[in-house]
Amino acid sequence: METAKVLNLLLMQNDVRKVTIKGVMPTSNGCALFLGPEEKTFIIYVDAHIGNTISMIINNVSRERPITHDLIGNIFVGCGIELERVVINDVRDRTFYARVILHMKNELGEKFCEIDARPSDAIALALHAEKSIFVTEKVLDAEEDMTELLERILKEQE
pLDDT in tens, the chain (158 residues): 455 555 555 555 559 999 999 999 999 999 999 999 999 999 999 999 999 999 999 999 988 888 888 899 989 998 899 999 999 999 999 999 999 999 998 888 889 999 999 999 999 999 999 999 999 999 999 999 999 999 998 888 88
Domain that holds residue 92: 3-151
Q: Confirm whether 115 is domain-assigned.
A: yes
Q: What is the pLDDT of residue 109?
A: 84
Domain count, the chain: 1
Q: Confirm whether 157 is domain-assigned.
A: no
Q: Confirm whether 156 is domain-assigned.
A: no
Q: What is the pLDDT of residue 1?
A: 47
Question: Measured between alpha carbons, how far is residue 30 from residues 27, 46, 52, 132 in Å?
Answer: 5, 6, 9, 24
Q: In what order do the strands lie in the sheet with 109-117?
A: 42-46, 30-36, 16-27, 132-136, 81-92, 95-106, 109-117
Q: What is the pLDDT of residue 47?
A: 94
Smallest CA-to-CA distance from 114 within 96, 100, 128 is with 100
Could you tell me the CATH number of the domain that includes residue 145? 3.10.690.10
